[in-house]
Structure 1
Amino acid sequence: MNDTPEQPQENPTALLDLVGRHLVRKSRPLSFDPVVEAVFQTDTATERNRQTIVAGLFALVFFNGFIIIDAITRPEILGMSVLVRLCIVTPLCLAALFWLRRAPPQWIRDSVLTCCAILIAVGSNYLLHIATSTEAHYSAFSFGLIVIGANIVLHIGFNAALATTIGCCVVTAFFLHATPDLNWSERNLPVYYMAAMGVITLVANYRLEGNLRHAYLLMLRERLNAQEVRRINEQLNAYSYTDALTGIANRRRFEQFLQVAWTEALVSGETMSLLVIDVDFFKRYNDSFGHPAGDACLQQVARAIEGQTRGDNDLPARLGGEEFAVLLRHTETIQATSAASRIHRAMSQLGLSHGRPDGNGHVTVSIGLASATPRHDGSSAGELVEAADKALYQAKRRGRNRTILADRAA
């Protein structure tokens, strides 16, 4: 089971506004707005846990290195030192570090590391407590390294660092005051030094965390700005290929798609077809009902045509004015003829009234159909368009509201 937190759903514009509000603040808080905090934790959790595990392993090596110091300065507790350090503290801390690979939330990670730091403090103080060497008490001055390691090297959160500092000081004070034959200085100065190191490292921890979060906000702002620019560019790109009135592809997109489809068919050897469509007597419709009604008519015609296409295989487009086209990839003539028939039926179902001179009282379309199987013989996509245009011209000459099939274009 993967416990890695999922990336929160970002609303780039709203998130960018929240980031901007944080950046204009004079202070550098240790937490963000819940939305920004969730993104921060998700973005940084994996790397922070990796760094924590590496630092924790080095800290354990350093901690166990004191076995050598114990062998030199406190030989009477060497066996207990090996037991406490290698057999109790180290396995528990290794288990905690291994568990951190699951990338838990920061508060859990910090709590686990705080417990590990206090466990090390307990183990170290216990060894001091049972030592009998006259110079054993000097080792208490090294316990401040535990606070430095937790607050700076492991870089736990400020609240956890504060808890670690207090916990280690309390543990050290307890054991030193419970150890016999120590004078006032030997009992209290190590605690004072540890507390001083704690205060210094807490200040450093606070500033380090604040600077880290500020740098993250700057990075996040750049990322969100880049996303916004990319979104706008994609939107503009979509607009550049979309007919503003009907919402289907425009001539530019049609010509690009035609070249790509022609090249693909040239490689595959498949047939492609083209329907060039013109709304019959559209100028008279515009003159009779006005331009707004004409625009509405073109929109309905576009939807009717688009409704008879096959998704990504076909491309319906408005070439300009009342002229449309449908490019049909992987389509033989008989299939293209069926598509044209479906478009005629769709127009009939629209039932748009039209006072036209030929007695037909509804809007209809004329269609020129051409098919081609591209070959390496000098033929081009332009010949397919030309053949369909000629077929459309014949359809209009023969009375409109019909489909005329061109001679094979290639």
Structure 2
Amino acid sequence: MIEDQLRSADEPAPGQNATAAAAPLAALLDREIDRFQQPQGLIWGTTTPVFPPQLEQKFEADTCRVRVRDLRFTMIFGTLLYYLSAVTDPVFVPDLGWLGVIVRTIGFPFMLGAIIFGPQLHGKVREIVIAITTVVIITCLAVIPALSAAPLAPYAFFTALLAMIYANTTLVLRFRKACIFTAISSAIIVSLAVSHSGVHNALGWAIALLTVVGGLFSLVSNYRIERSARLSYLLGTRETMRSQALAADREMLKTLSSTDELTGLANRNALKRWCANALTSTQNHGRNAALLMIDVDHFKRYNDFYGHMAGDVCLRTIAQKISNTVRSDDDIVARFGGEEFVVLLLDVDPRRAWALAERICSAVEKLSLPHANRSDGSTNVTISVGVASSTIGAGCTLENLMRTADRGLYMAKRKGRNRVETAMSNAA
């Protein structure tokens, strides 16, 4: 029901509350976008791809589902590649036989646990578990050539290097954790490669150099991937918030254009639009319709005696009471102008319409609003109500219903006010 949106004239609209609540986040987004859009160096800039705590929590919540899906797929695919690398063992480490597969199996429980349980963990814990699992995998791959005495065994260290690059560029560990992970993994590969080939062996140091260079290059890629993803998130979130704010503004303007500023009820234009739809819809043909025309008795005298500010308070109080008494999704309560209110009811026969009008009249009287300037002996504010009833169909229009209800209101005024009178519509 339209009058369910009733609120006092001083109460902010919902769109205003939403806009005010979103303002700090919008400002934070703008600051972060400016920071992320600062010119970067040839490799990377000084912008750390991490948000302030409030925004970081929102980022994790908003991207969690996609992140978990991507991690699970990438880890499953990485597991397949991990075991497929065993096909190179007969070439690089033929002396190990099945030992290479056994060493790889040591890392399998870690990989299985990360695939099954890792995505279910909280963001930071999840990223740490995946980083640790990746270190274990790279350690297993680096240990295999370290155990072999075959002449081509040192070249098998590149399998561990490829795994490190895969983790940084395809699995895309969070940058800070990627830095720690790369440092640890590089140290493991370099130490095993150098100790295997000998300190004075050029091949060992060449492998160490390529490992460090490969780790740095993969970190550059990791940084740019995460920075780009976070900037895209910032821009997308800002556009979403702007769209939501625009929709809220439109809704607020729609509400304001349909709402009486003083009482918060529907205004005359909203009443006409609502009635035009309700009374002309073919789906409503044959349904009962009733209209109550309500007028505050001796309201001009009230304003003259108490002042217009008190008169406004009086009208808001009466509007609230009428709205609270009329409760149905098919009804509308509107301020028609001045001290006049209109209630349009659907699926209400004349007897029920009369009974509702009596309840409204009694409810207003029980407010006991003082009115010391009446000329009829009463000392409280009261209302008079005219009732019109009809059946929706040809000839049932808002104008006809109001014309009939106005006749009833006129009769109520003639008979002493603070009462309900009804009149039958010619379109009935």
- After TM superposition, the score normalised by the length of structure 1 is 0.88
1:305, 1:97 → 2: CA distance? 61
Q: Secondary structure at 2:371's aligned position in 1?
A: coil
Matched, 1:166 2:183: yes
- Are the counterparts in 2 of residues 110 and 157 from structure 1 also a CA contact under 8 Å? yes
Equivalent residue, structure 1, for 2:28 = 18
Q: Secondary structure at 2:117's aligned position in 1?
A: helix
Would the alpha carbon gap of residues 187 and 319 (structure 1) be closer, same or farther in structure 2, given more than 3 Å must change?
A: same
The residue type equivalent to 2:187 in the other structure is: V
The residue type equivalent to 1:77 in the other structure is: L
Would the alpha carbon gap of residues 191 and 369 (structure 1) be closer, same or farther in structure 2, given more than 3 Å must change?
A: same
1:20, 1:119 → 2: CA distance? 40
CA deviation map 1:118-171 (0-9, x unaligned): 122222122212223221222223432122111111111122111211221232
Equivalent residue, structure 2, for 1:4 = none
Q: Secondary structure at 1:336's aligned position in 2?
A: helix
Q: Secondary structure at 1:146's aligned position in 2?
A: helix
1:266, 1:125 → 2: CA distance? 76
Picking from 70, 91, 96, the partner of 2:114 is 96
Higher deviation after alignment, 321-330 or 10-19: 10-19
1:353, 1:397 → 2: CA distance? 20
1:181, 1:163 → 2: CA distance? 27
Matched, 1:132 2:142: no
Q: Secondary structure at 1:404's aligned position in 2?
A: strand
- Are the counterparts in 2 of residues 370 and 388 from structure 1 also a CA contact under 8 Å? yes
2:246, 2:329 → 1: CA distance? 27
Picking from 133, 136, 160, the partner of 1:116 is 133
Shift of 1:48: 2.0
- Are the counterparts in 1 of residues 190 and 211 from structure 2 also a CA contact under 8 Å? no
Would the alpha carbon gap of residues 180 and 196 (structure 1) be closer, same or farther in structure 2, given more than 3 Å must change?
A: closer
Q: Secondary structure at 1:133's aligned position in 2?
A: coil
Q: Secondary structure at 1:307's aligned position in 2?
A: helix
Would the alpha carbon gap of residues 339 and 289 (structure 1) be closer, same or farther in structure 2, given more than 3 Å must change?
A: same
Matched, 1:57 2:76: yes
The residue type equivalent to 1:356 in the other structure is: R
Picking from 320, 323, 345, the partner of 2:337 is 320
Would the alpha carbon gap of residues 302 and 267 (structure 1) be closer, same or farther in structure 2, given more than 3 Å must change?
A: closer
Picking from 385, 393, 396, the partner of 1:367 is 385
Q: Secondary structure at 2:237's aligned position in 1?
A: helix
Picking from 188, 195, 214, the partner of 2:231 is 214
Matched, 1:154 2:154: no
1:189, 1:243 → 2: CA distance? 81
The total of aligned residue pairs comes to 398
2:292, 2:229 → 1: CA distance? 61
The residue type equivalent to 1:28 in the other structure is: T
Shift of 1:269: 4.1
1:294, 1:11 → 2: CA distance? 34
For structure 2, list consecutive stretches of 5 or more residues without a partner in the other structure: 1-19, 39-45
- Are the counterparts in 2 of residues 242 and 249 from structure 1 also a CA contact under 8 Å? yes
Matched, 1:75 2:85: no
Q: Secondary structure at 1:148's aligned position in 2?
A: helix
Equivalent residue, structure 2, for 1:6 = none
Shift of 1:247: 1.4
Matched, 1:392 2:409: yes
Shift of 1:311: 4.7
Matched, 1:353 2:363: no
Picking from 352, 355, 359, the partner of 1:342 is 359
CA deviation map 1:226-273 (0-9, x unaligned): 121222221121111111111111112222332344357954744232
Matched, 1:201 2:211: no
1:260, 1:28 → 2: CA distance? 57
Would the alpha carbon gap of residues 141 and 302 (structure 1) be closer, same or farther in structure 2, given more than 3 Å must change?
A: closer
Equivalent residue, structure 1, for 2:52 = 33
1:180, 1:362 → 2: CA distance? 105
Higher deviation after alignment, 40-49 or 21-30: 21-30
The residue type equivalent to 2:174 in the other structure is: G
- Are the counterparts in 2 of residues 265 and 373 from structure 1 also a CA contact under 8 Å? no
Picking from 320, 323, 329, the partner of 1:306 is 323
- Are the counterparts in 1 of residues 131 and 177 from structure 2 also a CA contact under 8 Å? yes
- Are the counterparts in 2 of residues 12 and 227 from structure 1 also a CA contact under 8 Å? no
Of structures 1 and 2, the one with the larger relative CO (CA 8 A, separation 6+) is 2
Q: Secondary structure at 1:359's aligned position in 2?
A: coil
The residue type equivalent to 1:95 in the other structure is: G
1:36, 1:263 → 2: CA distance? 51
